[in-house]
Homo-oligomer: A and B are copies of this chain.
Amino acid sequence: MGGNTPSRRIRADAERSTARILEAAETVLAEDANASLERIADAAGLARATVHRRFASRTALLDALAEQLSRRYLLGLAEARVETAPPLIALHRLTEIVFDLKLSHRFAVQLSAAITPAVLDGLDLLFARLRDTGAITAVDPAWCRRVYLALLHEVHDLPADSTTLASSATGDETEAKVDLLVRTALGALGGSHDATTALSLT
């Protein structure tokens, strides 16, 4: 899938267009999931025909969007060292990373196709390790995953002036959100609040 077919060389031009379309699609679809391809083309500064040239159909574009996000998820899981790092640290790091993804992938994130089995496995592993160390008590990894992702979504589009974010007075909004999410998720999954606050010293 990742190889180049030498029979038809793909010009750097076209590849830039593809990238711009994906980016524009993400932006536009975040506001209106049913936005037309024309609106996406406009946002990308390209003609509608070009969108059709790069992506055979609307579905193909959506698939590409999901696949792109899936790859970034996997990268994030690896970057957070989900398999090796102390689970609480990994959770914190992963949350930061996924938060950045959500900023630029508000729409694609809600594509179920983006959460591939591999991504799923990574998350499940993390929660299993969290439970082994006693950070949480919930046993069902699927349940943990759902709660985490649901809360992630809520924290993400929390108004910046929310009093809830004022807890960590660092002024860094993103960090405050990450802290809030980790604390909330651990609490929801039956973690003691001691273990939760212990991480705040990181």
A contacts, CB < 8 Å to B: 34, 138-140, 142-143, 146-147, 150-151, 153-154, 158, 162-164, 183-185, 187-193
Contact = CB atoms under 8 A, between A and B. Distances in A.
* Most interface-central of A143, A146, A150, A187 (chain B CB within 10 A): A187
Nearest to A144: B164
Main SS class of interface, A: helix
Contact of A142 (B138, B139, B147, B162): B162
A153 B154 contact: no
A79 B68 CA distance: 48
A179 to B, nearest CB: 13
A164 B188 contact: no
A154 B164 contact: no
A183 B34 CA distance: 37
B193 A190 contact: yes
B143 A147 contact: no
B151 A139 contact: no
Contacts of A138: 164
* Most interface-central of A146, A183, A189 (chain B CB within 10 A): A146
A139 B153 contact: no
Contacts of A187: 187-191
Contacts of A190: 183, 187, 193
A96 B169 CA distance: 38
A190 B164 CA distance: 12
A163 B140 contact: yes
A30 B155 CA distance: 26
A143 B183 CA distance: 14
A128 to B, nearest CB: 13
Contacts of A164: 138-140, 142-143
